Amino acid sequence: MRKGQNPAKYAKTVAKPERITVAVLNYIPLLGGFYAEALDVLKLSLESLRAEAGLPFDLMLFDNGSCPEVRDYLVSEKEAGRIQYLFLSEKNLGKGGAWNILLAGAPGEIIAYADSDILYSPGWLARSVELLENFPQVGMVTARPFRTNPEYHSATRAWAEQNAALEAGSFLPWETFWEFNRSLGQAEDENRRIYAETQDWRIHHRGLQAFVGASHWQFVAYKATLAQFLPFEMDKPMGQVKQLDQRVNAAGLLRLMLPDPLVMNLSNTLDGIKKGAADVAPVSMSVFKRLAQFAPLKKALLSLYDQIFKWYYT
């Protein structure tokens, strides 16, 4: 038999979530090798996310089976009130499995999704929501311009041709183009060729400007819009996330980007933003790095690293 009455019965109010949920997906299985700086990247990402977003939000973070050190940090952030909702998965569900929980479970009307290695600039959220609310039938908005596969934004261009001012050309400065592609470990010579052979599309609508395109690694969208694309069936942890880009386009929804680079992919290092670092490495390390870039050796070493990682973590 119950003893007494539950005190919660006498509560007069309950907390209400913010209209916007910033949803972050994190996975750091160890603090070594490829992931040696990953926790520092995560800390900087969350710090910049909160700084001058321009709109109130709740932060929801889904951790996809990270190592104990990372989980301890996230719990401490939750206890300090800097994370409002925290999911700690025992296993790595892959991005698709995590999305099914994260995007369905976010309480906000608007979801601002991002991977955990993103560096944010002031106004990134407010500017993204401005496009979301002032363009019709928006599927997703990414807070920086970069060149994406035209096959994934054909519906956006078709809409703009009929309903807005659409122009094609090279509007993205080389520095902005290269800043992003360099973060993915790509070669400069190949990117200069791609930059010269591709183009941008730009839309003017209701006094606002947007680049055509968006991406699954960072976007703002209405939760109700994302719900129609769930669940995601992905049999690999990564590599199949373009399903979202494709589904949004196939549904005839707009995929837009801010004209200014207000988010940046840090990947797995802070090297690109460290201040005061020595410009010249020790000679022995410089020689090693040059040797490691020798194409056949680089390929063999990366293959070995990949195999060792699979043995331990898959």
pLDDT per residue over 108-151, tens digit each? 999 999 999 999 999 999 999 999 999 999 999 999 999 999 99
Q: Are 221 and 138 in contact (CB under 8 A)?
A: yes
Mean pLDDT for the chain overall: 87
Residue-level length of the chain: 314
The answer, yes or no, to whether residue 239 has pLDDT greater than 80, is: no
The predicted-structure confidence for 2-54, as pLDDT tens digits, reads as follows 677 667 666 666 789 999 999 999 999 999 998 999 999 999 999 999 998 99
Question: Where residue 168 falls among pLDDT bands split at 50, 70, 90?
Answer: very high
Three-state DSSP string of 224-257: HHHHCCCCCCCCCCCCCCHHHHHHHHHCCCEEEE
Give the mean pLDDT of 81-90: 97
Residue ranges of alpha helices (H) inside 115-241 are: 124-134, 154-163, 174-183, 188-197, 223-227
| Per-residue pLDDT at 86 | 98
Going by C-alpha positions, the residue among 138, 131, 116, 154 that lies closest to residue 223 is 138
| Per-residue pLDDT at 280 | 32
Q: What angle do CA 141, 53, 43 make, to 5 degrees?
A: 100
- Going from the C-alpha of 43 to that of each of 15, 70, 272, 290, the distances in angstroms are 27, 10, 16, 31
> How many CB atoms within 10 Å of residue 164?
17
Question: Where residue 1 falls among pLDDT bands split at 50, 70, 90?
Answer: confident
Q: Are 175 and 260 in contact (CB under 8 A)?
A: no
Share of the chain above pLDDT 90, in %: 70
In whole angstroms, give the CA distance from residue 59 to residue 74.
Answer: 12
The answer, yes or no, to whether residue 289 has pLDDT greater than 60, is: no
Question: Where residue 286 falls among pLDDT bands split at 50, 70, 90?
Answer: very low
The answer, yes or no, to whether residue 75 has pLDDT greater than 60, is: yes
Q: Is residue 220 part of a domain?
A: yes
In whole angstroms, give the CA distance from residue 304 to residue 302.
Answer: 5
Question: Where residue 166 falls among pLDDT bands split at 50, 70, 90?
Answer: very high
Q: Is residue 237 part of a domain?
A: yes
Question: Where residue 63 falls among pLDDT bands split at 50, 70, 90?
Answer: very high
The answer, yes or no, to whether residue 232 has pLDDT greater than 90, is: no
Going by C-alpha positions, the residue among 229, 215, 267 that lies closest to residue 99 is 229
Going by C-alpha positions, the residue among 56, 125, 121, 62 that lies closest to residue 97 is 62
In whole angstroms, give the CA distance from residue 27 to residue 73.
Answer: 13
| Per-residue pLDDT at 240 | 72
Could you give the number of structural domains in the chain?
1
| Per-residue pLDDT at 185 | 81
Q: Is residue 56 part of a domain?
A: yes
Q: Is residue 279 part of a domain?
A: no
Give the domain range for residue 63.
20-265
Q: What is this structure's pTM?
A: 0.84
The answer, yes or no, to whether residue 297 has pLDDT greater than 80, is: no
Q: What angle do CA 184, 308, 181 make, to 5 degrees?
A: 5
Q: Are 21 and 111 in contact (CB under 8 A)?
A: yes
Q: Is residue 5 part of a domain?
A: no
Give the mean pLDDT of 209-214: 97
Give the mean pLDDT of 265-272: 86
Question: Where residue 243 falls among pLDDT bands split at 50, 70, 90?
Answer: confident
| Per-residue pLDDT at 3 | 74
What CATH number does residue 160 fall under?
Answer: 3.90.550.10
| Per-residue pLDDT at 309 | 58
| Per-residue pLDDT at 157 | 97
Region of poorest pLDDT, from 4-8, 72-76, 136-140, 300-304: 300-304
Question: Where residue 191 falls among pLDDT bands split at 50, 70, 90?
Answer: very high
Q: Is residue 227 part of a domain?
A: yes
Q: Is residue 166 part of a domain?
A: yes
The answer, yes or no, to whether residue 288 has pLDDT greater than 50, is: no
Q: Are 47 and 277 in contact (CB under 8 A)?
A: no
Q: Is residue 104 part of a domain?
A: yes
The answer, yes or no, to whether residue 277 has pLDDT greater than 90, is: no
- Going from the C-alpha of 70 to that of each of 183, 214, 313, the distances in angstroms are 23, 29, 16
